[in-house]
């Protein structure tokens, strides 16, 4: 195992808005992403799924039942069906008192293409906003999620990092196979292996073949901080999800993780002294 200690002068922890500023606005909507940008997030996280007609949309669950007024699996619906649904009014107003339901594009189904356009506009205005895109249900479609994703990234010139500076996009997945496919087709694109638990063969800090960055859940960090040290010793960057509580932000800071993925970018940035 290589021993690559990180430099003592680390850049600040990157703050990634999980499904947008999803505590304050309905997840995966333009409203949530605009709020995250306004709050100062460094990057936006989104989950992508394929519709029945092969479009990538930003939806977390297999079905649309929880986050819209419709029913059914994303994979069984066409984009035109999804476009008739309201992805905003499910949001609980008691939990998110600042949320004013807005009909129209802000709470319609969000395509990955539209999110890439938004990020492009922000970057064109001079802010180095990044995207962390997670492939969902990659086994069902046997490579089509990654193929469509890379096709879209290529159209936006995002399928490889610029000669200088960080990549504006990274691809994340719980599926090592999905990352392997991405890595095979776009070898320079950063890939993050997400983990809900640490499998025995990865306990020493190793990552699966297609992965370059480790993405442990916050539960792993709390229960096994030594594992984070092992990942660092193995030379991997560590991006933790989903970090919402101040004590978790503090622990991640203490352990020197490189990025935290949070539903509350505004509060986290403020805790880190960046607002
Ligand atoms: O950012 C990684 C995290 O989003 C993974 O869990 O279920 O929220 O997609 P989930
Ligand atoms: Ca996700």
The residue behind tokens 């994979």 is: 75
Confirm or reject: Cβ of 60 under 6 Å from ligand 1: yes
DSSP 95: T
Confirm or reject: Cβ of 134 under 6 Å from ligand 1: yes
**Residue 9 pLDDT class (50, 70, 90 cuts):** low
Report the CATH fold assignment for 14-62+110-271. Answer: TIM Barrel (3.20.20)
Backbone phi and psi for residue 272, each to the nearest 5 degrees, phi listed first: -85, 0
pLDDT number for residue 137? 74
Confirm or reject: Cβ of 18 under 6 Å from ligand 1: yes
pLDDT number for residue 93? 73
- 255 CA from centroid of ligand 1 (Å): 21
Write the CB contacts of 269 (distance below 8 Å, at least 6 apart in sequence): 15, 39, 40, 41, 275
- 3-state secondary structure at position 208: coil
Q: Which of 28, 60, 232, 239 is catalytic?
A: 60
| 46-98 tens-digit pLDDT | 999 999 999 999 999 999 999 999 999 999 999 999 999 999 989 877 778 88
What are the boundaries of each domain within the chain? 14-62+110-271
Alpha-carbon distance of 159 to 1, in angstroms, equals 29
| 219-271 tens-digit pLDDT | 999 999 999 999 999 999 999 999 999 999 999 999 999 999 999 999 999 99
Nearest to 264 by CA among 27, 63, 82, 103: 27
Buried b (16+ CB within 10 A) or exposed e, 130-159: bbbbbbbbbeebeeebbbbbbebbeebebb
What percent of the chain has pLDDT above 70?
Answer: 95
**Average pLDDT value over all residues in the chain:** 93
| 116-160 tens-digit pLDDT | 999 999 999 999 999 999 999 766 677 999 999 999 999 999 999
- Distances 1 to 149, 172, 207, 209, 233 between C-alpha atoms, Å: 32, 23, 11, 14, 8
């Amino acid at each position: 195992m290589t021993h690559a200690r990180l430099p003592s002068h680390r850049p600040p922890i990157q703050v990634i808005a999980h499904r947008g500023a999803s505590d304050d606005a309905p997840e995966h909507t333009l409203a949530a992403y605009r709020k995250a940008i306004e709050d100062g997030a460094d990057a936006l996280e989104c989950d992508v799924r394929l519709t029945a007609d092969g479009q990538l949309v930003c939806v977390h669950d297999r079905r649309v039942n929880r986050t819209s007024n419709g029913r059914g699996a994303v994979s069984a619906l066409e984009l035109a069906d999804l476009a008739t649904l309201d992805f905003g009014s499910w949001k609980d107003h008691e939990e998110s008192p600042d949320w004013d339901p807005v009909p129209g594009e802000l709470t319609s189904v969000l395509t990955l293409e539209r999110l890439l356009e938004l990020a492009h506009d922000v970057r064109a205005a001079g802010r180095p906003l990044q995207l962390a895109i997670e492939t969902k249900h990659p086994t069902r479609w046997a490579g089509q999620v990654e193929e469509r994703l890379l096709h879209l990234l290529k159209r936006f010139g995002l399928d490889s990092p610029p000669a200088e500076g960080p990549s504006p996009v990274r691809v994340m997945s719980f599926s090592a196979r999905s990352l392997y496919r991405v890595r095979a087709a776009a070898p320079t694109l950063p890939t993050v292996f997400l983990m809900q638990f640490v499998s025995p063969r990865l306990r020493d800090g190793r990552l699966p073949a297609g992965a370059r960055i480790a993405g442990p859940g916050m539960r792993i960090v709390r229960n096994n901080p030594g594992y984070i040290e092992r990942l660092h010793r193995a030379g991997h960057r560590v991006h933790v999800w989903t970090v919402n509580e101040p004590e978790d932000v503090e622990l991640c800071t203490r352990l020197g993780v490189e990025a935290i993925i949070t539903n509350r970018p505004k509060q986290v940035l403020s805790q880190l002294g960046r607002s």
